[in-house]
Chains A and B, each alone.
Chain A
């Protein structure tokens, strides 16, 4: 990328087929916001059914038509909505949206590079992401409905069109969309890794990288190593569906017919899926943790506590996440000894996680904390990360998992630790880097309102689900009235749904703030948060190549906040060390 290419760009090459990482990051963000709106709406639809089963809601009929005859959600449609909700949230919002937006924006800016290693691949990555988003959304409209077997699409349910309506065309589209999605994230991931390794500016040693970059690096490595396994799982599933193979199928008699399949194993799919699936939850979470590290340090006006321990724990979490996938399969009949091994490896992850949590808290201790909206969301993230992570200890214990596996306890756990934390991290990132992305400020007071409503409704929705689950209520149930022993916890359902609906509406505050501020927001200054990292040394008005002149040179780590050697409470990375001063 030419350093000062000031040639005129056409509208198309600037806004549409852009190679510029800043523009691509905005494209990812806006697409993810759109997907997020869809996913939240779907969850509100099925939460209506769960909160008030069988009741008629005009809004359901308006949006879903024949899937909600007389305003009551159809049971097949229910499963389709849950599945697509989960898929969109995990992959499109929190993988594509979170990594795509912030890795793209921050990697070149924070390491001092003019752009990504390959702008073209980067663009391709976005367009594949968009194509797969479009396919996923369109699968909602096909005959028979979208994929309905849960976001994990376990065969044989997903392999046999005769097993449920959603396993027809909808499932095919789901699989195609996922293949494109993986291609997109591989292109993105390789690019991120290469850029971080090769394009750091002078003085930007690995031990001076902001924690955001460390998190993005490990995330990208996890993705590159695990997504290909998902593709193989998906390709084998496609072959089972359409080419008569039987990788996952054996001894099946369905719809009055014995199928001509023997020798496959549905469990094989689960191993392949979760070999991606578990790292995937860290692909979702690590960028959020990286973002919040940066924001918490900046706004506490204190160095992040235990920088090296933070890097160590990111690496440890990344490594361990590859050897724990079996904790999703304790009740598949796996050898109990193998189960024990997975119990052990899984519980090990709690150690680096605990280190991270305590380091965040120590960073706050004796800080001088500016409670910006980004900071609020980051603090919210630490809370949800801890609250949700703790229930993971229960789930990791195979003996306990037997009784709560696939119940609402799991739904509570992963929504708090993965859903809320990662969403909070993403929102924190948007509030913090909005000035860098759009050159405008978001309205702070609306940000406060947004945060408090989201925090309250987030916990209000997901915390009570623990109790519903411990009472034995399975997930992916259309309604619970068939089981008398669950009646007594069902009074929680309308409360949960009410919180969910208010929480969803609260996002309108954010949407409004976001789009309104792009056009009408206060014009940003170059370094509004008085932060140390390099992105704040670039001009507010975007230029190709990021820095109009020479690339900045780095002399110190990113966390010299309130350094006693300096008057100011922040010391940008570009400031040379004083005589006799030691790097952190």
Chain B
């Protein structure tokens, strides 16, 4: 393969060299200077512009015909306005595209160099310039007004009876949360995220679960750090040194009584341990060294673990801080309670047709973007900064399948902000259905303390070639 590439390169270079030599020679023969473009060349290039233009236009028209209806009819209410605006824009820019390119290419082709002609000296013309300042301004004013009207419609407040849904992103999947009966989301806190509480909803159970998990991790890490062989051996050496030191003292002085009043320090190691204590410590370490918990870590790895331990302890403190909130305040109490009936779904989420939905977007790690092209909807999910978007679905999945003539068709939510290695496969199915079906579906969904779901089993994002999608942790 390498040889082949080399060969191609060599052949290419040789070919080019020959080519250039030929040109060099021919130019010399005809005593032609490079800057003198011959009539034939000018004419050739001029005609090529026309040929190019026609081919380009043909290709453009073909592309419009074959791919011009880029997406099926909008499945949301505001999307209809967006599509109308888009068509107007596309019509205008397509017209200008043809007009200006045609003028450009035709003028180039028409006015190519002729020896006996002199160009028209035409340095400026205020009237003309006024025309092409004013006309674009008017067209743009139209586009701006139409555009901003659509924009205002789609970004306005949602009505009070809109369904509240949170779309929560992480590397590399989506979770949807429904507010439940009380129509209010429970408070969430990223410190409380555990595998059972992927959104970190604040409830007693949530806090306890999080603390339990943290404690387990801390203990595990402490064990690893404490049982690290090097650390143990060093500790043991240290104790042995102290012991030796203690003995030397005894031997050196002989008359222990004389020195009694100098303080009992003398009889202890420098950490203030007595001989017995030291011995028992050493025995303990020896015992530990025999256990199968002993690990061997490099300095760097050990330091990393100690660091992590420190961070976990800080994390635990933050969780405890949540617990220490004063809940006598009625509002926080209700927010706290509100989380209990939140419903959490993965893989797919459902929407009732014709009902306004207020989406709230959050992210737990990096920026993602919730993009639902069929609904002409997109909003970034930004860690720490919740965002929102409202829409009303107007076409059920079933109807869209008929429209598309594709029984397999599904609406999707996809990630449209680069977020890591599996960015290209971070998706969730969206189902639009009748109110009744929707109610049934929602009733079946569990409230937030879902059964432990292994991430690999999430049906949504089918992994590429069988690799797990959620890979980073």
Contacts and interface: CB of A to CB of B under 8 A. Distances in A.
A303 B123 contact: yes
B384 A252 contact: yes
A479 interface: yes
Interface residues of A, number: 143
Q: In the complex, which of the residues B60, B103, B424 has the most CB atoms of chain A within 10 Å of its own CB atom?
A: B424
A383 interface: yes
Q: In the complex, which of the residues B45, B92, B318 has the most CB atoms of chain A within 10 Å of its own CB atom?
A: B45
Nearest to A350: B140
B144 A305 contact: no
Given A251-B190, A350-B136, A358-B132, A331 B369 contact: yes
Interface in A162-208: 162-165
Given A163-B366, A252-B383, A347 B144 contact: yes
Contacts of A562: 118-121
A366 interface: yes
B364 A443 contact: no
Contacts of B366: 156-157, 160, 163, 254
Interface in A231-273: 249-258, 260, 262-267
A236 to B, nearest CB: 15
B201 to A, nearest CB: 13
Given A446-B23, A569-B118, A79 B418 contact: yes
Nearest to B136: A354
Q: In the complex, which of the residues B108, B193, B464 has the most CB atoms of chain A within 10 Å of its own CB atom?
A: B108
Interface string A379-408: 100110011001101100111101101110
Contact of B424 (A305, A472, A482, A584): A482
B417 interface: yes
A266 B367 contact: yes
Given A76-B421, A332-B387, A379-B108, A584 B190 contact: no
Interface in A12-31: none
A47 to B, nearest CB: 16
B412 A483 contact: yes
Contact of A157 (B129, B190, B419): B419
Interface string A328-348: 000111001001100110011
Interface string B151-188: 11011100000000000001100000000000000000
A350 B92 CA distance: 13
Given A305-B123, A402-B376, A477 B369 contact: no
Given A339-B151, A350-B136, A371-B46, A406 B417 contact: yes
A343 B42 contact: no
A471 B119 contact: no
Interface string B416-438: 11111111110100000000000
Interface residues of B, number: 135
A31 B66 CA distance: 43
Contacts of B423: 79, 476-478
B76 to A, nearest CB: 11
A92 interface: no
A485 B373 CA distance: 10
B424 A463 contact: no
B1 A332 contact: no
Contacts of A250: 383-385
A369 B418 contact: no
B29 interface: no
Given A251-B364, A459-B56, A365 B107 contact: yes
B103 to A, nearest CB: 5
B328 interface: no
B16 A509 contact: yes
Interface string A503-515: 0000011001100
A276 to B, nearest CB: 19
Nearest to B20: A516
Given A252-B190, A258-B318, A520-B24, A333 B379 contact: yes
A528 interface: yes
Contact of B150 (A301, A399, A482): A399
B327 interface: no
A306 B129 contact: yes
Contacts of A358: 100, 128-129, 132
Interface stretch (A104-112, A277-285, A448-456): A448-456
B418 A476 contact: yes
B129 A355 contact: yes
Contacts of B35: 372, 435, 441, 444, 525, 528-529
A521 B34 CA distance: 9
Interface in A42-76: 54, 58-59, 61-62, 75-76
Contacts of A9: none
Given A252-B365, A366-B111, A372 B314 contact: no
A249 B112 CA distance: 59
A529 B93 CA distance: 36
Interface in A545-584: 559, 561-564, 569, 584
A399 B418 contact: no
B30 interface: no
Interface string B308-331: 100100110010000000000000
A157 B464 CA distance: 22
Nearest to A77: B421
A351 interface: yes
Contact of B63 (A156, A463, A485): A463
Given A399-B81, A400-B89, A393 B367 contact: no
28 contacts: A54-B465, A59-B5, A150-B418, A163-B365, A250-B385, A253-B170, A333-B387, A343-B151, A358-B100, A361-B107, A365-B107, A367-B111, A368-B117, A369-B111, A382-B104, A393-B93, A397-B151, A399-B81, A403-B376, A443-B20, A443-B24, A456-B52, A467-B70, A474-B416, A476-B418, A489-B70, A528-B33, A562-B121
